[in-house]
């Protein structure tokens, strides 16, 4: 009889809720993708490179011009000088990058700390590489890094800590104090860090992104993952990046080259040209803060209670004044009965954790948000 390597993994909640939304004509604020197109200039640049015949395999590590622009951006934003040849790799989206980083450093039986609530691709990647997931909850309500809980979870078998900032699903962010605490942990234990920083350019109210790249000691033990899909509203292109010190990048590339090997060539050339101008990504905080504020103001007409959203393009809502249903049942009812799809927060926790919270995505056109708000006002 066939024995699955992931016996408890089924269709993701994101696919389930999107299918339910399509079936019932609901506004899909569940799955985290924009319903608007990326920049025209970027599309035109990629078409130009396609017509120029740049359609064969790119170098395994990524097109040189793109890696150079990524290194320049890292230096400008975070003050870290990275070598584009030995420390930057272009990946097939952030999910591949996360998987390859875990595969590169985690050996069978070693423990990987995951901070709940967390994105659903982390644990399967750990399990497929023989690792042991250790789930450590973030602070209830604020979703801050719980320093005491994290320190207590470290054992002689701990190999890696996965960090996500700005955080999906809560929108919380790491602080400078968190980086200082992590620096102490790295100095005390033989640990590696994996920074999922795909929302690095989407922070609100003047916040500064506390990247692992900012700290020399942390970067020396880190893989830092970013995503062009999130930054330029083109999630379907599946192009991401990893910055890591040369020894870690070398191990990372061993996995990458035998997994996807390389990434779409004309898209890489187009991204390299477009990335040379920092204005588009530097303008993202204002772009998404306006959408966040529009959405939050509209939700004031409902009985949903809003939690803070410091970054990313997600808004958590407390529905306890609306329903006694558990989170999965409530989100199904919201989709089929009210016509707005959401994601239950409990699915981001190991074994589930009921708080009567749901995640909504505001990376949508204004008319999409307004249509959703009209329906949510019925609550």
Q: Does residue 166 have a cis peptide bond before it, meaning omega lies within 30 degrees of 0?
A: yes
Tell me: do 147 and 242 sit in the same domain: yes
Q: Is the pLDDT of residue 72 over 90?
A: yes
Residues 291 and 166: their CA atoms lie apart, in Å, by 17
Q: Is the pLDDT of residue 13 over 90?
A: no
Look at strands 343-344 and 88-91 and give their pairing. unpaired
Alpha carbon distance, N-terminus to C-terminus of the chain: 49
Tell me: do 287 and 193 sit in the same domain: no
Tell which of 250, 280, 310 closes a domain.
280
Tell me: do 246 and 323 sit in the same domain: no
Tell me: do 219 and 337 sit in the same domain: no
Q: Cα–chain-centroid distance for residue 273?
A: 24
Mean pLDDT (whole number) for 62-73: 98
Q: Is the pLDDT of residue 70 over 80?
A: yes
CATH number of the CATH domain containing 302: 3.90.1150.10
Residue 6 lies in a domain: no
Tell which of 264, 280, 296 closes a domain.
280
Residue 7 lies in a domain: no
Residue 239 lies in a domain: yes
**How does residue 67 score in pLDDT terms, banded at 50, 70 and 90?**
very high
Mean pLDDT (whole number) for 268-276: 96
Tell me: do 105 and 228 sit in the same domain: yes
- pLDDT at residue 351 in the model: 87
CATH number of the CATH domain containing 198: 3.40.640.10
Tell me: do 317 and 235 sit in the same domain: no
- Two structure tokens written together for 351: 């074994």
Nearest 10 degrees: Cα torsion 362, 364, 368, 369 = 20
- pLDDT at residue 95 in the model: 97
Residues 359 and 368: their CA atoms lie apart, in Å, by 16
Three-state DSSP at 270 gives helix
Tell me: do 156 and 52 sit in the same domain: yes
Number of domains in the chain: 2
Residue 175 lies in a domain: yes
What global pTM score does this model have? Answer: 0.96
Tell me: do 173 and 111 sit in the same domain: yes
Mean pLDDT (whole number) for 324-348: 96
DSSP string, 173-220: ---HHHHHHHHHHHHHS--EEEEE-TTTT-B-TT-----GGG-HHHHT
- pLDDT at residue 8 in the model: 86
- pLDDT at residue 256 in the model: 98
Residue 5 lies in a domain: no
Tell me: do 138 and 238 sit in the same domain: yes
Q: Is the pLDDT of residue 75 over 90?
A: yes
**How does residue 12 score in pLDDT terms, banded at 50, 70 and 90?**
confident
Tell me: do 70 and 160 sit in the same domain: yes
With b for 16 or more beta-carbon neighbours within 10 A and e for fewer, the 344-363 pattern comes to bbbbbbeeebebbbbbbbbb
Tell me: do 293 and 269 sit in the same domain: no
Residue 18 lies in a domain: yes
Q: Is the pLDDT of residue 88 over 90?
A: yes
Residue 112 lies in a domain: yes
Cα–Cα distances (Å) from 284 to 95, 288, 308, in that order, read: 22, 6, 19
Tell which of 246, 280, 314 closes a domain.
280
Structural domain including 79 reads: 40-280
Mean pLDDT (the chain, rounded) = 96
Label residue 152 exposed, middle or buried (CB < 10 Å: 0-12, 13-18, 19+): exposed
Tell me: do 109 and 257 sit in the same domain: yes
**How does residue 354 score in pLDDT terms, banded at 50, 70 and 90?**
very high
**How does residue 162 score in pLDDT terms, banded at 50, 70 and 90?**
very high
**How does residue 366 score in pLDDT terms, banded at 50, 70 and 90?**
very high
Mean pLDDT (whole number) for 218-227: 98
- pLDDT at residue 7 in the model: 87
């Amino acid at each position: 009889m066939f024995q699955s390597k992931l016996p408890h993994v089924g269709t993701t909640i994101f696919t389930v809720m999107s299918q339910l939304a399509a079936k019932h004509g609901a506004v899909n604020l569940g799955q985290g993708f924009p319903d608007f197109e990326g920049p025209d200039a970027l599309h035109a640049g990629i078409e130009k490179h396609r017509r120029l015949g740049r359609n064969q395999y790119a170098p395994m590590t990524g097109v040189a011009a793109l890696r150079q622009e990524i290194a320049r951006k890292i230096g400008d934003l975070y003050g870290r000088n990275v070598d584009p040849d030995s420390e930057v790799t272009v990946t097939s989206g952030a999910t591949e990058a996360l998987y390859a980083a875990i595969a590169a450093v985690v050996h069978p039986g070693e423990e990987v700390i995951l901070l709940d609530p967390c994105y659903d691709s982390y644990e399967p990647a750990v399990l497929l590489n023989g690792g042991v997931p250790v789930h450590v909850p973030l602070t209830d309500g604020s979703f801050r890094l719980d320093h005491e809980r994290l320190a207590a979870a470290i054992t002689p078998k701990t190999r890696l800590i996965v960090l996500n900032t700005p955080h999906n699903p809560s929108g919380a962010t790491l602080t400078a104090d968190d980086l200082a605490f992590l620096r102490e942990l790295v100095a005390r234990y033989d640990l590696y860090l994996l920074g999922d920083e795909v929302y690095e350019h989407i922070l609100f109210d003047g916040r500064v992104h506390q990247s692992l790249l900012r700290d020399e000691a942390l970067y020396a033990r880190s893989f830092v993952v970013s995503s062009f899909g999130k930054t330029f509203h083109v999630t379907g292109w599946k192009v991401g990046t990893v910055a890591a010190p040369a020894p870690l990048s070398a191990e990372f590339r061993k996995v990458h080259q035998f997994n996807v090997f390389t990434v779409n060539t004309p898209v890489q050339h187009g991204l390299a040209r477009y990335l040379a101008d920092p204005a588009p990504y530097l303008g993202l905080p204002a772009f998404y803060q306006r959408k966040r504020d529009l959405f939050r103001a509209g939700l004031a007409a409902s009985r949903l209670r809003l939690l803070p959203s410091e970054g990313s393009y997600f808004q958590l809502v407390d529905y306890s004044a609306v329903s006694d249903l558990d989170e999965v049942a409530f989100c199904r009812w919201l989709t089929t009965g009210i016509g707005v799809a959401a994601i239950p927060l409990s699915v981001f926790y190991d074994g589930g954790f009921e708080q009567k919270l749901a995640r909504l995505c505001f990376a949508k056109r204004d008319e999409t948000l307004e249509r959703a708000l009209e329906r949510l006002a019925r609550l």
